[in-house]
């Protein structure tokens, strides 16, 4: 009996010793982990931005400008060690509707969350017909047709003024500066020109102004004596001409010759008129036009942007490059507010509520349309002066 009891006690002692040794072994590594100073690793996710732009053909220079602005912004953002990276995939639609739709479908299948473009109104319109409620974030930096945003298109955001907004801005500016009698000259076959003309006329009349005379010309016209002769029969304080700078330059030169002295206003397509006149600035002096962006603008954010853009691409950015640059930064700002992943739908939801301090100005969105103060430029001694 004594032997049996002794064996049991010895077994218990061995068991206790083994348990104590095992516990000590388990505790040792825990003490070492307390002093671990390894830095936290941030897990990154990719936000794919698919671009539908004309990179060949007649509109290639415009598409390249958008691509350049977007690329510069993405490179800067990716260098900031964000919890995500921006992956750009820009493809050439040649400003062709069929190509644009095909590229869109491919980008969607490849799980792009964001679509940049298309550049032209016709391509953008067809893509939107193809993609209702597609749950992707769409960025428009050049298209101006009103129906591309709002309504069911809650995931579409425009970073430039639409045609109606441009015409209304010109009317508001004139009325604010005491101009209540105006004439209009536009191109009869151009959609852009007609849209701005109508928006200006409606808003000007609503604000108490009078459109004294309205004239048009046909595409390709070079002689504007008929329009000048008619204008000379009326009294007005300004002429609104929603046309292109090449046309505006020729008309202002002839109107000056025919003795029409008045204030001239145009849309953003007037940018370039100074370079067009080759030093003879007298007849365009004092003319004004609406502008989404001007590389000559004197503020630190724009100065830095222009410097970096010139260093990378060897030329100054235009409005399309600037709008694309701001659009990519807006995507980044929206991503900062996403709580659970970066789906196109979540990015669009956050985009609706952000406020961006961009190179084109400080802006937000309402029903997908950009909301910011309009800016007019005055031609002064052969330079563009921002107001």
Nearest to 158 by CA among 148, 172, 168: 148
- Mean pLDDT is lowest, of 114-123, 221-230, 231-240, 269-278, for 269-278
The helix/strand/coil state of 196 is: helix
H or E segment and range at residue 380:
strand 376-380
Average pLDDT over residues 362-375: 95
264 C-beta neighbours (distance < 10 Å), count? 23
Sheet strand arrangement including 263-266: 210-217, 181-187, 238-241, 263-266, 288-290, 376-380, 383-386
- pLDDT at position 131 is 82
Span 175-209, pLDDT tens digits: 999 999 999 999 999 999 999 999 999 999 999 99
Residue 12 inside a domain? The answer is no
Cis peptide bond prior to 177, omega within 30° of 0:
no
Helix/strand/coil (H/E/C) assignment for every residue in 309-341:
HHHHHCCCCCHHHHHHHHHHHHHHHHHHCCCCC
Half-sphere exposure of 14 (CA within 13 A, CB side): 6
- pLDDT at position 218 is 97
175 and 229, same structural domain? yes
Average pLDDT over residues 154-175: 97
Residue 7 inside a domain? The answer is no
- Mean pLDDT is lowest, of 14-18, 218-222, 325-329, 379-383, for 14-18
109 and 52, same structural domain? yes
Query: For the chain, what percent of residues have pLDDT higher than 70?
Result: 89
Residue 32 inside a domain? The answer is no
- pLDDT at position 387 is 79
49 and 151, same structural domain? yes
Q: Is the pLDDT assigned to residue 264 strictly greater than 50?
A: yes
- pLDDT at position 8 is 37
Q: How confident is the model at residue 386 (pLDDT cuts 50, 70, 90)?
A: confident
Mean residue pLDDT of the chain comes to 89
**Beta partners for 89?**
50
Q: How confident is the model at residue 151 (pLDDT cuts 50, 70, 90)?
A: confident
* Domain extent for 106: 45-160+298-371
Span 298-317, pLDDT tens digits: 899 999 999 999 999 999 99
Write the CA distances from 286 to 1, 103, 141, 183, 281, integer angstroms: 121, 45, 29, 17, 10
241 and 170, same structural domain? yes
231 and 334, same structural domain? no
Rounded Cα gap, residues 119 and 300, in angstroms: 28
244 and 186, same structural domain? yes
**Beta partners for 87?**
48
Count how many domains the chain has.
Answer: 2
Residue 155 inside a domain? The answer is yes
CATH of the domain at 201: 3.40.50.2300
- pLDDT at position 44 is 53
Q: Is the pLDDT assigned to residue 280 strictly greater than 70?
A: yes
Residue 99 inside a domain? The answer is yes
Q: How far is residue 210 CA from its own chain's centroid?
A: 34
Nearest to 268 by CA among 297, 298, 238, 245: 245
- CA-based max dimension of the chain: 137
287 and 168, same structural domain? yes
285 and 170, same structural domain? yes
Span 29-76, pLDDT tens digits: 443 333 323 233 334 589 999 999 999 999 999 999 999 999 999 999
238 and 205, same structural domain? yes
Residue 69 inside a domain? The answer is yes
Q: Is the pLDDT assigned to residue 19 strictly greater than 90?
A: no
Residue 170 inside a domain? The answer is yes
The helix/strand/coil state of 147 is: helix
78 and 156, same structural domain? yes
Q: Is the pLDDT assigned to residue 166 strictly greater than 60?
A: yes
266 and 197, same structural domain? yes
Span 90-136, pLDDT tens digits: 999 999 999 999 999 999 999 999 999 999 999 999 999 988 779 99
What residue spans of the chain are helical by DSSP H?
A: 2-33, 60-78, 97-109, 121-130, 163-176, 191-206, 225-231, 245-257, 273-276, 300-313, 319-336, 344-351
Average pLDDT over residues 308-332: 97
Rounded Cα gap, residues 56 and 99, in angstroms: 12
DSSP 8-state class, residue 146: G
């Amino acid at each position: 009996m004594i032997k049996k009891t002794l064996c049991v006690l010895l077994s218990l002692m061995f068991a206790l010793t083994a348990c104590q040794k095992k516990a000590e072994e388990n505790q040792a590594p825990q003490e070492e982990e307390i002093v671990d100073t390894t830095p936290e690793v941030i897990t990154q996710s990719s936000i794919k931005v698919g671009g539908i732009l004309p990179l060949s053909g007649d509109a290639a220079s415009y598409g390249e400008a958008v691509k350049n602005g977007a690329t510069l912004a993405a490179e800067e953002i990716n260098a900031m060690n964000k919890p995500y990276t921006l992956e750009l995939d820009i493809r050439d639609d040649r400003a062709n509707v069929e190509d644009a739709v095909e590229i869109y479908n491919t980008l969607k299948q490849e799980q792009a969350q964001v679509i940049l473009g298309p550049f032209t109104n016709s391509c953008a319109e067809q893509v939107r017909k193809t993609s209702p409620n597609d749950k992707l974030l769409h960025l428009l930096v050049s298209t101006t047709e009103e129906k591309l945003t709002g309504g069911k298109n809650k995931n579409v955001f425009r970073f430039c003024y639409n045609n109606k907004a441009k015409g209304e801005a010109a009317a508001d500016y004139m009325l604010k500066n005491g101009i209540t009698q105006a004439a209009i000259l536009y191109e009869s076959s151009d959609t852009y020109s007609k849209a701005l003309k109508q928006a200006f006329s409606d808003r000007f009349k609503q604000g108490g102004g009078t459109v004294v005379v309205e004239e048009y010309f046909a595409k390709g016209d070079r002689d504007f004596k008929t329009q000048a002769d008619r204008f000379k029969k009326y009294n007005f304080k300004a002429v609104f001409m929603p046309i292109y700078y090449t046309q505006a330059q020729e008309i202002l030169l002839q109107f000056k010759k025919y003795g029409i002295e008045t204030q001239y206003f145009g849309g953003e397509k007037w940018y370039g008129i100074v370079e067009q006149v080759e030093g003879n600035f007298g007849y365009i002096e004092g003319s004004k036009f609406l502008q989404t962006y001007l590389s000559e603008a004197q503020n630190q954010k724009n100065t830095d942007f222009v410097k970096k853009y010139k260093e990378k691409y060897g030329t100054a950015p235009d409005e399309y490059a600037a709008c694309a640059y701001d659009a990519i930064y807006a995507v980044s700002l929206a991503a900062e507010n996403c709580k659970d992943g970066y789906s196109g739908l979540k990015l669009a939801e956050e985009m609706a509520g952000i406020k961006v301090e961009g190179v084109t100005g400080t802006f937000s969105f309402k029903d997908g349309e950009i909301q910011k103060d309009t800016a007019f430029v005055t031609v002064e001694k052969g330079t563009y002066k921002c107001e």
